[in-house]
Amino acid sequence: MRLTGSQIFVEVLIEQGVDILFGYPGGAVLNLYDELYKSSDRIQTVLTAHEQGASHAADGYARATGRTGVVLATSGPGATNLVTGIATAYMDSVPMVAFTGNVATSLIGRDSFQEAYIEGITLPITKHNYTVRRVEDLADTMRSAFRIAQSGRKGPVLVDIPKDVTANSCEFTPKEPELIRTVTQVNDALARQAAAMINEAQRPLVCFGGGVRSAAGCQPLRALLEKADIPATHTLMAAGVLDYGDPRNLGMLGMHGCFTANKAMAEADLVLAIGTRFSDRVALNPETFTSAKVIQIDIDPSEMGKNIALDLSITGDASYVLQAILPYVEPALHKDWMAQIVAWRKMDYRPIDSDRVLRPHQLIDELCRQAGPEAVYVTDVGQHQLWAAQYLHHTKSRGFLTSGGLGTMGFGYGAAIGAQMALGRRQRVIMLTGDGSFHMNLNEGCTAVSYQLPIITVIFNNQVLGMVRQWQTSFYGKRYSSTDPHRKTDFVKVAEGFGAKGYRAATLEEFRTALADALQQEGPSWIDCRIDKDERVLPMIPGGGDIRDIIME
């Protein structure tokens, strides 16, 4: 069958099971968009307001489903606008394939109109990237891109397609999608060794991260915790994997993790780290972080011992490794250890309710009560993000989408659009944002209106860049340099301007009513919630510190 590059593009997308493509058109991708138009019954294209939004949408789609998110942008500025989205996905190991158009091969390297060397630009922020120079290579290159994005440790892959490649034609042979390869074989001796260490431990602790969410299933983790009576703490990336109410779930670890989790880490005699890379926001001081023996399980061998010293490492998909270990683990009860943890819990930071002003934890409690544990919660970056991680009552392993590794303000709206498109309108999607982050990418409000997406956005409006301001409060003598912008934005009017619904809430009662109304809307809405600018995220361990440096008030 002889097809043009553009036809091949669409055929391979369909062959790879792509149902939605986020993107933005332009000169270099006109041929591709023309073919997508003709195939709009087979594949849906979603037009965003900005390529960055499209890249975050592809990312949100992938985080919400585990499937590969796909984004398409034109050459030059279209391609460079994807960069933040690709880097965000790379840092959090999200499977994504980004396609960019480029000028014709004869014009490449001549500083042609809208030419950018996107392969070079994205080299350090992709798992791999390609420029397709011949139409004959297009189909197999695309197939490789999809395979690489999903294999092993997942991540973004970029395919750059010059315009003449989309116009030229060649013979096309349809193929079945290649099966994904992942590390599932576990060395039995290592599994026994890990189990022996677990059986011996008096104060074992599991610490899990985003790798558990992308592992084939989280069930073996729950089974292990139950069988050997082990408490568990998680990183920001793994919020929601264990039930909020589970007594063995200590909550979040690290800079803004709770006292109990950080204390347990310091006092444990064995730490089983699963799908986490001990980033500098978790192991703030890699030397004093824990004195326990450490077993690390990760799909990426290059993570082994990268940040902290290990006693044992097992490479593989977390769920397979745990399944291999589980039979050798003896049922146990760690009564003293659990009692100690219960005692520490009494010392955890507890925010005080207010009936006068809106406090973040009360706002989030109310949000959970109305939107329910089955909702998908998406965040931006800042204080509101950490409050969300601390106070949301999660129960879904893919129900908390946040930019952890890169910490990208402006991630939220695009990601919420991707999640809502992927899961359908019956799925409740809630975005928690700050006034600073929302200002970055609220342009995607128009996309939510175009596609009638019932996304509810809760703006934690403290009128400041709160997270940075908090550091200035604690470490820079309250010199609030560039964190207090005095913006006069009326978010209700902005909503109306976009054709969305806007609400304002200054008290819990107002928030309750606004949210109840927002939940009835067919399209997008946002609630401007006024909170005090001096609200802080607590507890906090300063960078490079340890449990002894924890700030609780």
Ligand X SMILES: Cc1ncc(C[n+]2csc(CCOP(=O)(O)OP(=O)(O)O)c2C)c(N)n1
Token pair, residue 258, equals: 């709770």
- Closest CB 360 distance from Mg ion, rounded Å: 11
> Which residue in 109, 174, 177, 247 binds other proteins (CB under 8 A)?
177
Q: Is 26 in the site for Mg ion (CB under 5 A)?
A: no
Which CB atom, from 40 or from 481, has the smaller least distance to other proteins? Answer: 40
Q: Is 257 exposed, middle or buried (0-12, 13-18, 19+ CB in 10 A)?
A: buried
Catalytic residue among 15, 44, 114, 227: 114
Give, as ranges, the residues between 409 and 448 that touch Mg ion (CB under 5 A). 434-436
Asked if 51 is an active-site residue, the reply is: yes
178's contact among Mg ion, other proteins, ligand X, none, with CB below 5 to 8 A by partner kind, is other proteins
* 539 touches ligand X (CB under 6 A): no
Residues 394-433 within binding reach of other proteins (CB under 8 A): 420-425
Question: 3-class DSSP state for residue 244?
Answer: coil
Tally of CB atoms within 10 A around 215: 26
Question: Rounded to an integer, what distance in angstroms lies between the CA atom of residue 75 and that of residue 55?
Answer: 15
Q: Is 52 in the site for other proteins (CB under 8 A)?
A: no
- Please give the Cα distance from 6 to 169 (Å, whole number): 9
Candidates 39, 44, 168, 199: give the one binding other proteins (CB under 8 A). 44
**Binding residue (CB under 6 A) for ligand X from 437, 441, 457, 525:** 437
Whole-number Å distance between alpha carbons of 212 and 305:
18
The type of residue at 305 is: G
Distance CA 173, CA 323 (A): 39
* Residue reference for tokens 């409050």: 387
Cα separation, 243 vs 480, in Å, equals 38
Residues 249-288 that bind ligand X (CB under 6 A): none
Q: Is 351 in the site for ligand X (CB under 6 A)?
A: no
Separation in Å, CA 72 to CA 16, 62, 522, 550? 15, 15, 28, 45
What is the pattern of x (binds ligand X, CB under 6 A) and - over residues 479-518? Answer: ----------------------------------------
Instruction: Tell me which of 11, 35, 51, 366 is the catalytic residue.
Output: 51
- Candidates 74-82, 182-190, 475-483, 522-530: pick the segment binding other proteins (CB under 8 A): 182-190
Q: Is 163 a catalytic residue?
A: yes
Q: 294 forms bridges with which residues in the sheet?
A: 271
Return the residue of 290, 462, 472, 525 that touches ligand X, per CB under 6 A. 462
Q: Is 511 a catalytic residue?
A: no
Sheet containing 376-379, strands listed edge to edge, beginning at the edge strand earlier in sequence? 400-401, 376-379, 429-434, 456-461, 525-530, 501-505
**Contact between residue 22 and residue 54 where contact means Cβ atoms under 8 Å apart:** yes
Q: Which residues inside 353-412 make contact with ligand X, applying CB under 6 A?
A: 380-384, 407-410
* 113 part of the active site: yes
User: What is the three-class DSSP state of 526?
Assistant: strand
CA–CA distance, 478 with 455 (Å, rounded to integer): 36
DSSP designation for 544:
T
Does position 528 bind Mg ion by CB under 5 A? Answer: no
Residues 372, 496: Cα–Cα separation, whole Å: 27
Residue 304 touches which of other proteins, ligand X, Mg ion, none (CB < 5 to 8 A by kind)? other proteins
CB of 447 to other proteins, least distance (A): 9
Return all residues near 224 (Cβ < 8 A) that are at least 6 apart.
206, 230, 322, 325, 326, 329
Nearer to other proteins, 184 or 340 (CB): 184
Nearer to other proteins, 82 or 421 (CB): 421
Whether 478 is catalytic is: no
Residues 511-540 that bind other proteins (CB under 8 A): none
CA atoms within 13 A on the CB side of 45: 16
Stretch that binds Mg ion, among 33-41, 90-98, 247-255, 464-472 (CB under 5 A): 464-472
Q: Which residues pair with 527 in a beta bridge?
A: 458, 503
Strands 128-131 and 69-73: unpaired
Of 37-45, 226-234, 309-317, 458-466: span binding ligand X (CB under 6 A): 458-466
Count, residues near Mg ion per rule CB under 5 A: 5
Structure tokens that stand for 421 in this block: 């498109």
421 binds, among other proteins, Mg ion, ligand X, none (CB under 5 to 8 A by kind): other proteins
As beta bridge partners, residue 313 has: 296
Chain Cα centroid distance, residue 475: 29
CA distance 253 to 535: 21
From the CB of 406, what's the least distance to other proteins, in Å? 15
Q: Which of 127, 154, 163, 501 is catalytic?
A: 163
- In this chain, which residue has its C-beta nearest to Mg ion? 434
Give the single-character DSSP code of 106.
G
Residue (56 or 394) nearer to ligand X, CB: 56
Of the residues 102, 182, 390, 441, which one makes contact with other proteins according to CB under 8 A: 182
Neighbours of 94 (CB within 10 A): 29
Q: Distance between CA atoms of 379 and 402, rounded to whole angstroms?
A: 5
Regarding 462 and contact with Mg ion (CB under 5 A), the answer is yes
Q: Of these residues, 265, 409, 421, 467, which one is catalytic?
A: 467
Residues acting as catalytic residues: 51, 113-114, 163, 467
- Where do contacts with other proteins occur on this chain (CB under 8 A)? 16-17, 19-20, 37, 40, 44-47, 64-68, 119-120, 123-124, 127-128, 148, 150-152, 177-185, 216, 300-302, 304-306, 315-316, 420-425, 450-453
Q: Which residues bind ligand X (CB under 6 A)?
A: 380-384, 407-410, 434-437, 460, 462, 464-468
